[in-house]
Amino acid sequence: MAETVLDVEALSVTLDTPSGPLAAVHHVSFALERGQSLGIVGESGSGKSMTALALMNLLPRSATRQATRLRLLDHDLTALPDRRFAQDLAGQRIGMIFQEPMTSLNPVYTIGRQLTEGVVRTGQMDAAAARRRALEMMARVGLPDPATRFDQYPHQFSGGQRQRVMIAMALMAEPDVIIADEPTTALDVTVQAQILRLMADLQRDLGMAMILITHDLGVVAQTVDRVAVMYAGEFVETGQVAQVLGAPRHPYTAALLHAAPEPDGARHRLAAIPGQIRPVYGQRSACVFENRCAHATPDCRAGHPGLRAAAPGHAYRCVLPPQPRPAAVQPQPTGQPRDVGSAPPVISLTGVSRVFASRATPFHRPHSLRAVDRVDLDVLPGETFALVGESGSGKSTLARMLLGLDTPSEGEIRIDGQPVSALQGVDRARRIQPVFQDPYSSLNPRRRIGEIIAQPMALHGLGSAAERSQAVEEVMARVGLPEAFRHNYPNQLSGGQRQRVAIARALILRPEILVCDEPTSALDVSVQAQILNLLADLKAEIGLTLFLITHDIGVVHQIADRVAVMQAGRIVERGPAARVLHSPAEAYTRTLLAAVPSIARALATGAQERGQPDGH
């Protein structure tokens, strides 16, 4: 049996908050052997990042850490003063990679200095040796021309390159354990695939132990051996990837799997998890998931469930008998795209370009950027049309032009046969309405929910006060918001609820078209499922046309009828969603699809590669 490098027993982190001590991490236990990798997966607020920070002695001032055992190699971290930890272990025996590559490097120092200072500080290497090692690591993580780039500054690197620098930096001292906290969340999917592959390779080649923290089940499935599902501060299920994701025993794991849209397989209605994580203050006297669990019984409230073994190496915290897989997989209501082919398009773009040009000044040569490049596009009434692309592909610029927030430099956009430029104010608003990405910033924090939803009517002086109130009530019911919310402010609602408010506001003028710009990318998987289901319902039942802009292939697969793939301002491929996703014609589409982490694919290949999980 391999050497255990990290041994954690009953790790807890308590945050001192105005409402009392909050148990952000509760009795987390695991052991990691050399060469092993553990994925910690959970939604926001689950405590997964706190766990990582606790291991690195990086907790905020308001947090305290307790553990019955916390050993890194032969060091007892519970007894080790922070000074000693920083001196002897941090960055050397245990390293960390963070989520935000754009801000995690110091902007005023060179990459070379930041790479080498750790090993030089501890005297492991002299400056020359450190430089050689840094160049070697830069090459190893795939940064071209290390000798030149060594002396460059972070702002001269792209996001993906900076994350490679971060990886190289974490590996400089050949640590025994490496912790990666959402290392690819800020990156495009194709870059994410490269980075994940790189990390998996390095981990195997260098024989490190790795902890990968992520919200993405697909990322976990394809990158690590073992997985821990975290909820409300505790590990609710742990085991081999194939065990936990293939045969989940905890209702939360199962629910999470059913809430995530999978790009492979048949389309079915997502099983949204109602409610939201409830923070736990003080003692745990019941199952933490009980309030959202479809199978909850009075037993669940009787006590805090202990860990139960499902199989060797596979444990979960639930008192219920193993649930059968939910047989009731509902079909997605699609609401057949009406009259496809015969009806005139509701949106039609001909040769649309948007060029951003800077004017020439005595100090600048003029330069121009074609964000959108001669796009032709028709969207038919009642269909869901998805525009897919990575960051910088021009998809959001296109959306802004559709909404009249920007005007094309060339070409024409018509809505209902009329040029957008000719549609003013209320005419445009009655036809096409937006739903934006971030439900935190798309609602004016100083207005009440009722006012926000009624705003389109108020802006155009439509209806009496009573009529507006009536309309608000109707539309809130339609999007599943309790009427009582109308007197609340946005900050009192959860992310999913706010996105429902944004949708309600968009619907109140009964437009034909909703332009949804990344409507779920700021939301957790379980909440995303709620919103995707709502959009699908709205489309099926009131015949809305949805123009969906997204980078997420899973979302496309879930609700799109037709799809166009955008790259560098151009549409490279288009067609029915099923055809494009399953038999893409273009190389770029294939790359994009291959890069999407898929649980099913990972489990299938994993079973071949790894053989059966070796229980011990």
Partner 1 sequence: MTPPTVQTAPAADMPDRAPTPREILRRRALRHRGFQIGLSILVGLLVVALFAPLLAPHDPFAQTLSARMLPPVWADGGRWDYPLGTDQVGRDYLSRLIYGARVSLLVGFGAATIGMVIGVTLGVLAGYFGGAVDHAVNFVLTAQLALPGLLLAMALVFIIGPSVWVVIGIVGVLHWTYYLVVTRSATMRLREIEFVAAAKALGASRRQVLIGEILPNLVPQILVIFTFELGVAILAESALSFLGVGIQPPTPSWGLMIAEGKEVMFFRPWQVVLPGIAIFLLVVGANLTGDGLRDITAPEGRT
Partner 2 sequence: MLKYILQRVALALAVAVVLSFVTFLLLNFATDPAYAIAGEDAEPEVVEQIRKTYGFDRPVLVRYAEWAGGVLRGDFGESYYWNKPVAELVADRAPVTLLLAVMSLSVTVVIALPLGIVAALNPNSALDRMALGIAVSAQAVPNFWLGLIMIILFAVQWRLLPVSGDATLMHFVLPSIVLGASSVPAVMRLTRTGMLDVMESDYIRTARAKGFRGAALVRRHALRNALLPVISVLAVQLGAKFSGSVITETIFAINGLGRLALESILGSDIPTVQILIFLFAIVFVAMNLLADILNAALDPRLRIA
Residue 494 contact partner, candidates partner 1, partner 2, none, CB within 5 to 8 A by sort of partner: partner 1
Helix and strand numbers (H, E) in the chain are 21, 23
Residue 29 — φ and ψ, nearest 5°? -130, 135
CA distances to 129, 458, 473, 478 from 453, in Å: 63, 10, 10, 12
Stretch that binds partner 2, among 98-106, 250-258, 326-334, 343-351 (CB under 8 A): 98-106
- Residue with Cβ nearer partner 1 (306 or 333): 333
DSSP 8-state assignment for residue 420: G
Task: Please pick, from the candidates 64, 121, 145, 306, the single residue that binds partner 2 as defined by CB under 8 A.
Answer: 121
CB-CB contact of 235 with 219 (8 Å): no
CB of 149 to partner 2, least distance (A): 13
Q: Which helix (DSSP H) or strand (DSSP E) does residue 479 occupy?
A: none
Tokens (6 digits) for 3:
């050497």
Tokens (6 digits) for 514:
């909703």
DSSP 8-state assignment for residue 166: H
Residue 106 — φ and ψ, nearest 5°? -70, 120
CB of 458 to partner 1, least distance (A): 9
Residue 478 contact partner, candidates partner 2, partner 1, none, CB within 5 to 8 A by sort of partner: partner 1
CB of 363 to partner 2, least distance (A): 5
CB of 163 to partner 2, least distance (A): 12
State yes or no: residue 259 binds partner 2 (CB under 8 A): no
- Residue with Cβ nearer partner 2 (209 or 502): 209
CB of 453 to partner 2, least distance (A): 36
CB of 3 to partner 1, least distance (A): 41
Question: In sequence order, what are the beta bridge partners of 562?
Answer: 385, 576
Stretch that binds partner 2, among 147-155, 253-261, 470-478, 493-501 (CB under 8 A): 147-155
State yes or no: residue 82 binds partner 2 (CB under 8 A): yes
DSSP 8-state assignment for residue 606: H
> How far apart are the C-alpha atoms of 552 and 3, rounded to whole Å?
40
Task: Please pick, from the candidates 298, 324, 341, 362, the single residue that binds partner 2 as defined by CB under 8 A.
Answer: 362
DSSP 8-state assignment for residue 333: P
CB of 473 to partner 1, least distance (A): 11
- Residue with Cβ nearer partner 1 (117 or 427): 427
CB-CB contact of 29 with 9 (8 Å): yes
- Chain centroid, CA 138 distance in Å: 28
Task: Please pick, from the candidates 46, 98, 250, 504, the single residue that binds partner 2 as defined by CB under 8 A.
Answer: 98
Helices (H), 370-492: 395-402, 425-431, 449-459, 465-478
Stretch that binds partner 2, among 132-140, 164-172, 333-341, 428-436 (CB under 8 A): 164-172
From residue 167 to residue 196, the character string flagging contacts with partner 2 as x (rule: CB under 8 A) and all else as - is --xx--------------------------
Interacting residues with partner 1 (CB under 8 A): 272, 274-276, 291, 400, 403-405, 424-429, 432-434, 436-438, 440-446, 455-456, 459-460, 477-482, 484-485, 488-489, 491-494, 496-497, 500, 502, 505, 510, 515, 530, 533-534, 537-538, 541-542
State yes or no: residue 118 binds partner 2 (CB under 8 A): yes
Stretch that binds partner 2, among 109-117, 325-333, 420-428, 553-561 (CB under 8 A): 109-117
Could you tell me which of 527, 517, 555 has the C-alpha nearest to residue 437? 517
Tell me which amino acid residue 262 is: E
State yes or no: residue 58 binds partner 2 (CB under 8 A): yes
- Residue with Cβ nearer partner 1 (94 or 509): 509
Q: At which residue do the structure tokens 């193993």 appear? A: 322
Residue 14 — φ and ψ, nearest 5°? -115, 130
- Residue with Cβ nearer partner 1 (163 or 332): 332
Q: In degrees to the nearest 10, what's the CA dihedral of 337, 338, 342, 344?
A: -90
Tokens (6 digits) for 214:
């992520």
DSSP 8-state assignment for residue 483: G
Radius of gyration of the chain (CA): 26
Contacts to partner 2 by CB under 8 A? 56, 58, 82-83, 86-87, 89-92, 95-96, 98, 100, 103-110, 117-118, 121-122, 152-153, 155-156, 166, 169-170, 362-363
